[in-house]
Amino acid sequence: MVASDESNGNKPKSKRMGAPPPNLSDLSRVEDRISFLYFEHCAINRESNAITVADDEGTIHVPSASLNVMLLGPGTTVTHRAMTAIGENGATVLWVGERGVRMYASGKPLTHSSALLQRQAKLVSNTHARLNVARRMYQMRFPQEDVSHFTMQQLRGREGIRIRRVYRTWSEKTKVIWDKRTYNPEDFEDASPINQALSAAHFCLYGIAHAVIIALGVSPGLGFVHTGHEKSFVYDVADLYKAELSIPVAFATVAESPEDVGSATRRNFRDAVYDLALMKRMVRDIKALLSVDGSDSCEKMDDHVGLWDGAKGEVAAGRSYGDEEMIEVQE
């Protein structure tokens, strides 16, 4: 199928087709949206503000304003109009290729404010503040331990011990044999069933984390524990929930001996996301991490626009400053 809005050689009309883009206030909050949907071997188009998904069995409609992440598997075609609707409604699209090779694209933020992004950049640029955020992340994962005075080296060591213990615990609970985490990122099937399930569950978790991060208007690349990658903060956020969510789902799924491990893991993961109200927690946790000193300065209005000032921090935009005292420039 050719993904095109033109037919019979006709030129596209200059007038905008379809429904007008939604107002920001009309969109669902990220924590209230459908966690993710997975499609393969189908054609995706647009009807008004809904996404249509068609295959040999028929057509379904997906309300794009209520979608958080859309995973597109092999054999999927998508039209320009569908991607426009998805982008306008702030959803994230991830293309899941064959044999584990993946690409992704993101939608627009569900906010016009850069306050959280500025806060993130400020915290990650200060060594002391960055370490405090990293400590908070580990404290959220393992609340029974006091890590308030740990160095990054100590945090990494303690995290490694904890995660190995989580794997062993779930192996004993589910009777699924566990050795170690090994997988080939270029070949999904070149791994044991439990490692396939872990890859599938972690990838869904990364997708949701990425979508929430984008929706809140912060940077996926400015991580506090992870660094140097365009999705460093995605990995930071996802790690908060692996021991509680993706690891248990993976072991429980493999214990069921499904024919298709990847598909069964995604279905079970989606149920667990709903049961744990993950997206609401994720929004709350990200905002808490970026307000580590208790500051609420990141809660500015969406349409707020100011001008930076070295002395005052910020001055009002939308006015002329030409009549103010001029600074003489000596040539």
- The residue with greater pLDDT, 91 or 57, is 57
Nearest to 189 by CA among 95, 72, 101: 101
Nearest to 68 by CA among 273, 328, 322, 314: 273
Q: For residue range 119-137, list pLDDT tens digits in order.
A: 999 999 999 999 999 999 9
- The residue with greater pLDDT, 54 or 25, is 54
Mean pLDDT of the chain: 81
Domains of the chain: residue spans and CATH: 26-105 (3.100.10.20), 115-289 (1.20.120.920)
Weakest-pLDDT range from 58-62, 69-73, 127-131, 132-136: 69-73
Q: For residue range 215-263, list pLDDT tens digits in order.
A: 888 999 999 999 999 999 999 999 999 999 999 999 999 999 999 999 8
230 labelled binding-site residue: no
> In whole angstroms, how large is the CA radius of gyration of the chain?
23
Q: What is the pLDDT of residue 105?
A: 66
209 with 283: CB under 8 angstroms?
no
pLDDT of residue 195 exceeding 80, the answer is yes
Nearest to 262 by CA among 212, 306, 202: 202
Q: What is the pLDDT of residue 8?
A: 41
- The residue with greater pLDDT, 187 or 128, is 128
pTM beyond 0.75: the answer is no
Weakest-pLDDT range from 68-77, 88-97, 157-166: 88-97
- The residue with greater pLDDT, 181 or 293, is 181
pLDDT of residue 322 exceeding 50, the answer is yes
159 labelled binding-site residue: yes
Strands 42-47 and 76-78: parallel
- The residue with greater pLDDT, 106 or 300, is 106
Give the C-alpha separation, 176 to 167, whole Å: 10
- The residue with greater pLDDT, 43 or 29, is 43
Q: Residue 211: which pLDDT band, with cuts at 50, 70 and 90?
A: confident
- Average pLDDT estimate for 50-61: 92
pLDDT of residue 89 exceeding 50, the answer is yes
285 labelled binding-site residue: no
pLDDT of residue 103 exceeding 80, the answer is no
29 CB neighbour count, 10 Å cutoff: 11
What letter would DSSP give residue 291?
A: T
pLDDT of residue 187 exceeding 50, the answer is yes
Give the C-alpha separation, 87 to 64, whole Å: 9
Q: Residue 304: which pLDDT band, with cuts at 50, 70 and 90?
A: low
Q: What is the pLDDT of residue 86?
A: 82
Q: What is the pLDDT of residue 108?
A: 66
pLDDT of residue 292 exceeding 60, the answer is no
pLDDT of residue 15 exceeding 60, the answer is no
Nearest to 152 by CA among 171, 167, 168, 138: 138
Give the C-alpha separation, 121 to 130, whole Å: 10
Q: Residue 48: which pLDDT band, with cuts at 50, 70 and 90?
A: confident
Q: What is the pLDDT of residue 186?
A: 72
